[in-house]
Homo-oligomer: A and B are copies of this chain.
Amino acid sequence: MNVGIIGGGQLGRMLVMEGRKLGFNFSVIDSNANSPAGRISDSSYSYDQYRDFIGQSEVITFEFEHIDSRVLEAAESSGKLFPGKNSIMLKRDRADEKNFLKGIGVPTAEFMVAETRKELSEAVKSFDHSVLKSAAGGYDGKGQYRLKRNDKLDGIPDQKYVVEQKIDFDYEASAIFVSDRNGKVVMFTPSYNLNRKGILLLNRAPISDPGFRDIGERIIRSLGYVGAMGIEFFVVDGKPMVNEIAPRVHNTGHHTLLGSTMSQFEAHLRAITGLPINEPELLSPSGIVNLIGKDLDSTTRSEILSIPGTVIYWYCKDSARRGRKLGHVNIASHDEASLKKRMDLVTRAYYGDDPDKYL
């Protein structure tokens, strides 16, 4: 089976790594010829070569949503693209994503769409505290601004926004859903997220499900979705609300690489290639610490690997820079208390006292 991956980042890299188990071959298309995924794939293509890439692939998937339109159209037309274009289009405009969720009755933060400066000004006045999110997307907290009702808009760039009521959540959580080609939907054990400056720092499973499954299944079925989808939730007064959806494998699903019967990457590949998926089982408490913003020197690497239950994934990116995800550490343990302790040790080994310096 030849699988084509659009995008050569770490998510693509882990798809390649996990797909080797089933003996799959991989083509990667990326502007960087030496991308994290491209360097371990069977063949690499530049975006100019997209026709060859599509011709070569039996099934095509992607590891990020902001796909070159030519490539997206051609991949969709080929009938090989999973998940389909409709899920990507939702991520082209955050207003579409929010309206879609609202339309199918999924709880989200209250929001207003502001196309003009005047609408933006009115929207900000509608909430005590609001979060302005660039409609064009952005990741890891980029393009987001927090304002109070009477704040001025000075310094806020002129663009289309979704203005959301700021949510005082109990905690942030995620669940990875996977749907096969026959419409069977499974959910990985939900996990707890700790974000700092809009970037995921830690993630840990299990947590209980206050209603994630119903919401995820509704979203998946509404889209006729095939593959893995990451859904980020706020839990407010014990009830889930969707923050956002990602039509792909997701950073909050990396814990499934250790201590689960199957990883999100394998589940995604099985689903898009027409193979069966099962309800994944969490064999032990499992978590990750993201490695963000600085290289991993050999002393730190040894310090992390000396902590029991740790496995390092290093993404082999070209260079380190503040806020850039360069790797992660999987951590597992028989019980949650010891998992948390190990995760603390890993966090301290890499970041010292202050992760914020690197985020």
Complex: how many Å from CA A343 to CA B301?
A: 37
Contact with B along A267-311 (1 / 0, CB 8 A): 000100001111101011000000000000000011001111111
Residues of B within 8 A of A327 (CB): 23
Instruction: State A270–B279 Cα separation when bound (angstroms).
Output: 33
**Complex interface bits, A298-337 against B, C-beta within 8 A gives 1, otherwise 0:** 0001100111111111111000000000010000111000
Q: Tell me whether A259 is interfacial, beta carbon within 8 Å.
A: yes
Q: Render A1-44 as a binary contact track against B, CB cut-off 8 A, 1 for contact.
A: 00000000000010001001111000000000000000110100
A172 close to chain B: CB less than 8 A: no
Query: Of residues A261, A315, A327, which shows the largest number of chain B Cβ atoms within 10 Å of its Cβ?
Result: A261
Q: Given contacts A22-B314, A259-B283, A313-B21, are A308 and B276 in contact (CB under 8 A)?
A: no
CB distance from A329 to the nearest CB of B (A): 10
Q: Does A266 touch B at the CB level, under 8 Å?
A: yes
For A308, what are the chain B residues with a Cβ–Cβ distance below 8 Å? 261, 278-279, 281
Closest to A314 in B: B23
* Residues of chain A whose beta carbon lies under 8 Å from any beta carbon of chain B: 13, 17, 20-23, 39-40, 42, 258-259, 261-262, 266, 270, 275-279, 281, 283-284, 301-302, 305-316, 327, 332-334
Q: Are B21 and A311 in contact (CB under 8 A)?
A: yes
Nearest chain-B residue to A17 (Cβ)?
B20
> In the complex, which residue of chain B has the Cβ closest to the Cβ of A308?
B278
Chain B residues with Cβ below 8 Å from A275 are 301-302, 305
A278-B308, A281-B333, A305-B276 known; A314 and B261 CB under 8 Å? no
CA of A279 to CA of B333, assembled, Å? 12
Chain B residue contacts of A261, Cβ below 8 A: 258, 308-311, 332-333
A58 to chain B, nearest CB (A): 13
Distance in angstroms between the alpha carbons of A281 and B332 in the assembled complex: 9
Q: Check A334–B283 contact: CB distance below 8 A.
A: yes
Q: List, in ascending order, chain B residues with CB within 8 A of A316's CB.
A: 23
Contact A23 B315 (CB under 8 A): yes
CB distance from A86 to the nearest CB of B (A): 27
Judging by beta carbons under 8 Å apart, are B23 and A332 in contact?
no
CA distance A309 to B266 in the complex (A): 12
For residue A40, which residue of chain B has the nearest CB? B20
Known contacts A258-B261, A261-B308, A332-B261; A21 and B279 CB within 8 A of each other: no
Residues of the B chain whose Cβ atoms lie less than 8 Å from the Cβ of A270: 305
Complexed CA–CA distance, A56 and B115 (Å): 58
Known: A276-B306, A283-B332. 12 other contacts (CB 8 A): A21-B311, A21-B312, A21-B314, A259-B259, A261-B308, A262-B311, A266-B311, A276-B305, A279-B308, A281-B334, A283-B283, A283-B334
Nearest CB in chain B to that of A285: its residue: B283
Most B CB contacts (10 A, CB to CB) among A20, A281, A332 go to: A20
B306 near A278 with CB under 8 A, answer yes
Listed by A's residue number, 16 A-B pairs whose Cβ atoms lie within 8 Å are: A20-B40, A21-B311, A21-B313, A22-B314, A23-B315, A23-B316, A23-B327, A39-B42, A261-B311, A276-B302, A276-B305, A278-B305, A278-B309, A281-B308, A281-B309, A283-B332
**Chain B positions within 8 Å of A279 at CB level:** 308
Task: Report which of B17, B332, B333 forms a contact with A21, defined as CB distance below 8 A.
Answer: B17
